[in-house]
């Protein structure tokens, strides 16, 4: 059975490559129709904003109002917002300002020690869970459902003084690489409105890329933070498996492996903000990250690869030249700084996609998009056929992914067990290679953003994102500017479990060296 799956994947790889090539030749570039950034407040990192709030140079009300105005300016083009709480956010901001205003210098130190992100607004992926707002997750049978409680990570951010503004778009049940649902329509890429913003955290990717949020809270089980970050030109971190809570997120199951695979995490324009945010989100698990034991940059070892070699290259999409070039530039930059680098082959990663999909298929208790207590293959196939002609109430990608999961990716029990063992051996080898001071550079995804309605085809590129969820290794997408078509590119940095700080340190260094986020439109700051 496994040979059949790989044959299908090889054929799909060829079709995907041809489709993406034709799209890049013929799809017209639809430039942003929203205005450029005009308020310099929107260009400051979370760290800078906290300092200015603490110094009473700005108010939280000013900051929240500035982001509300920006969201209202960009959302008609992007369609990234599902529901907002702007009025409540402004009230929260006034409360934060009152606490700051009446505090003297000593009291301010204590205030910001207790609330380290006091007065900072942020946005939330709908599926992560924000009390009182939409919790539909793109499914028609969940229409009008509101979230009853804040998710654990939202709770931690609010306890740190953060102010949620809205919930953003995601695909149906978060099962797609494009955020395009029957319920809400297309969430568009801020750099090219004819292309996807990624999935499943597409709304957060779009808002961050357009400069419409200081940071976003998202989730990732197969690249759902890293892919939107890449497609929308920003940074995103998938933490070590189990580090960040998923309590209150959707979907959820009591299968004990699920919290190891799915993780919440930040998306932001500024890599230097990632450690600040991660420390708050980690809660009691922060000690596991050992942020108080920094590693000197010169002591970090860099391993890198551009993609698959040999026979494995036949069943995986080739990496675009501009992405390969970005990895080369990053490696050369660190070599000039005296760091040790080594190119590695992905021979052991040849079955990455099968290892990942096989592990997902073994998860028990995931709810069905068809809302049946016991999902039926017949129903899924029928809805899938209807989706091909636009007649299904569900999205094609969600139906396809559930069908493949229920059919165990058409692999036998013995084959799935062999892949599980292979995955464990691969993790052991990677952990040994990386140690406590090594990182691996490799593509996040083989291409820049693709066209709408090609997400199912592009699932062939899932391997190098999904694998690290299954293995539990931390991974940060690093933005490296734009390609020749003006679309964002970058790559991911992977480290051993609980060495998240290495990924974040490398991301910040590359942001400093190569400039980080590039606005979709030149800024037009009003003085």
pLDDT digit string, tens, across residues 159-213: 999 999 999 999 999 999 999 999 999 999 999 999 999 999 999 999 999 999 9
8 A C-beta contact, residue 201 and residue 232: no
Task: Give the pair of three-digit tokens for residue 358.
Answer: 């096989």
- Taking residues 487-513, what's their average pLDDT? 98
pLDDT of amino acid 12: 86
Judge whether residue 465 has pLDDT over 80: yes
Which of 225, 257, 439, 462 is closest to 351 using CA atoms? Answer: 462
* Per-chain mean pLDDT for the chain: 95
pLDDT of amino acid 372: 63
3-state secondary structure of 518: coil
CA dist 397 and 158 (Å) reads 34
Q: Is 325 exposed, middle or buried (0-12, 13-18, 19+ CB in 10 A)?
A: middle
CA distances, 497 to each of 109, 242, 467, 490 (Å): 33, 10, 14, 22
8 A C-beta contact, residue 391 and residue 446: no
pLDDT of amino acid 1: 64
Task: Give the pair of three-digit tokens for residue 286.
Answer: 């922060």
Contacts of 144 (CB under 8 A, 6+ apart): 136
Could you give phi then psi for residue 173, rounded to 5 degrees? 55, 20
Give the confidence band of 57 by pLDDT, cuts at 50, 70, 90.
very high
Check residues 175 and 315 and name the one with the higher pLDDT: 175
> Which alpha helices (DSSP H) does 210-341 contain, by range?
226-231, 258-261, 274-282, 321-336
Judge whether residue 312 has pLDDT over 80: no
413-434 and 463-471 helices cross at what angle (nearest 10)?
80
Strand partners, 236: 267, 477
Could you give phi then psi for residue 238, rounded to 5 degrees? -100, 115
Contacts of 393 (CB under 8 A, 6+ apart): 140, 182, 383
Q: Which residues are catalytic?
A: 125, 200, 224
8 A C-beta contact, residue 183 and residue 139: yes
500-514 and 321-336 helices cross at what angle (nearest 10)?
100
- Taking residues 58-63, what's their average pLDDT? 98
Angle at 72 between CA 70 and CA 77, to 5 degrees: 100
pLDDT of amino acid 373: 66
pLDDT of amino acid 214: 98
8 A C-beta contact, residue 171 and residue 136: no
pLDDT of amino acid 315: 78
Judge whether residue 420 has pLDDT over 80: yes
Give the residue carrying structure tokens 């479990």. Answer: 497
Give the residue carrying structure tokens 């942003």. Answer: 32
- Taking residues 404-427, what's their average pLDDT? 91
* Element containing residue 513 per DSSP (H, E): helix 500-514
Q: Are strands 180-181 and 216-220 parallel, antiparallel or unpaired?
A: unpaired
Per-residue pLDDT of 473-498, as tens digits, reads 999 999 999 999 999 999 999 999 99
Give the confidence band of 9 by pLDDT, cuts at 50, 70, 90.
confident
CA distances, 507 to each of 56, 335, 421, 494 (Å): 30, 16, 32, 11
pLDDT of amino acid 208: 98
pLDDT of amino acid 216: 98
Check residues 278 and 378 and name the one with the higher pLDDT: 278
Which of 283, 331, 273 is closest to 491 using CA atoms? Answer: 331
CA dist 184 and 178 (Å) reads 13
Percent of the chain with pLDDT over 70: 99
- Taking residues 263-269, what's their average pLDDT? 98
- Taking residues 297-304, what's their average pLDDT? 98
Domains of the chain (ranges; CATH) run 36-514 (3.90.1300.10)
Length of the chain: 527
Judge whether residue 276 has pLDDT over 80: yes
- Taking residues 374-386, what's their average pLDDT? 85
pLDDT of amino acid 261: 97
Task: Give the pair of three-digit tokens for residue 180.
Answer: 């395009």
Per-residue pLDDT of 80-121, as tens digits, reads 999 999 999 999 999 999 999 999 999 999 999 999 999 999
- Taking residues 245-261, what's their average pLDDT? 95
């Amino acid at each position: 059975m496994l040979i059949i799956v790989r044959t299908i994947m090889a054929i799909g790889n060829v079709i995907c490559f041809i489709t993406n090539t034709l799209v890049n030749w013929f799809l017209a570039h639809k430039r942003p129709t929203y205005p450029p950034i005009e308020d310099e407040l929107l260009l400051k990192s979370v760290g800078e904003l906290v300092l200015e709030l603490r110094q009473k140079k700005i108010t939280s009300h000013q900051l929240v109002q500035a982001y509300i105005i920006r969201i209202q300016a960009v959302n008609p083009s992007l369609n990234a917002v599902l529901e907002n709480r702007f009025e409540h956010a402004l009230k929260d901001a006034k409360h934060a300002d009152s606490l700051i205003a009446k505090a003297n210098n000593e009291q301010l130190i204590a205030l910001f020690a207790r609330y380290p992100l006091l007065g900072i607004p942020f946005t939330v992926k709908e599926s992560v869970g924000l009390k009182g707002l939409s919790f539909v997750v793109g499914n028609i049978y969940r229409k009008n459902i509101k979230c009853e409680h804040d998710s654990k990570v939202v709770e931690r951010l609010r306890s740190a003084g953060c102010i949620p503004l809205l919930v953003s778009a995601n695909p149906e049940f978060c099962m797609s690489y494009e955020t395009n649902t029957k319920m809400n329509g297309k969430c568009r890429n801020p750099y090219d409105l004819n292309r996807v913003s990624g999935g499943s955290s597409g709304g957060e990717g779009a808002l961050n890329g357009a400069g419409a949020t200081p940071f976003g809270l998202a989730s990732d089980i197969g690249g759902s933070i890293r892919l939107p970050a890449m497609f929308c030109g920003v940074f995103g971190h998938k933490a070590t498996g189990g580090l960040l809570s998923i309590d209150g997120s959707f979907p959820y199951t009591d299968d004990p492996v699920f919290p190891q695979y799915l993780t919440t995490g930040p998306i932001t324009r500024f890599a230097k903000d990632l450690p600040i945010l991660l420390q708050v989100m980690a809660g009691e698990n922060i000690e596991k990250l050992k942020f108080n034991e920094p590693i000197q940059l010169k002591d970090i070892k860099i391993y890198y690869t551009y993609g698959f070699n040999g026979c494995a290259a036949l069943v995986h999409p080739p990496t675009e030249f501009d992405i390969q070039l970005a990895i080369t530039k990053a490696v050369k930059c660190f070599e000039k700084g005296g760091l040790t680098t080594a190119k590695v082959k992905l021979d052991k990663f040849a079955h990455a996609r099968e290892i990942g999909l096989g592990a997902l298929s073994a998860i028990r208790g995931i709810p069905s998009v068809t809302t049946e207590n016991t999902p039926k293959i017949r129903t899924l196939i029928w809805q899938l056929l209807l989706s091909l002609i636009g007649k299904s109430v569900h999205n094609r990608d969600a139906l396809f992914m559930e069908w493949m999961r229920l059919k165990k990716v058409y692999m036998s029990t013995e084959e799935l067990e062999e892949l599980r063992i292979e995955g464990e051996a691969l993790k052991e080898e990677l952990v040994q290679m990386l140690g406590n001071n090594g990182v691996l550079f490799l593509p996040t995804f083989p291409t820049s953003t693709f066209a709408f309605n090609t997400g199912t085809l592009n699932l062939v590129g899932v391997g190098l994102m999904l694998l690290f969820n299954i293995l539990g290794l931390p991974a940060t997408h690093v933005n490296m500017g734009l390609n020749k078509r003006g679309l964002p590119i970058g790559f991911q940095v992977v480290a051993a479990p609980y060495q998240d700080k290495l990924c974040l340190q490398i991301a910040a260094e590359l942001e400093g060296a190569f400039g980080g986020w590039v606005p979709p439109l030149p800024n037009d700051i009003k003085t």
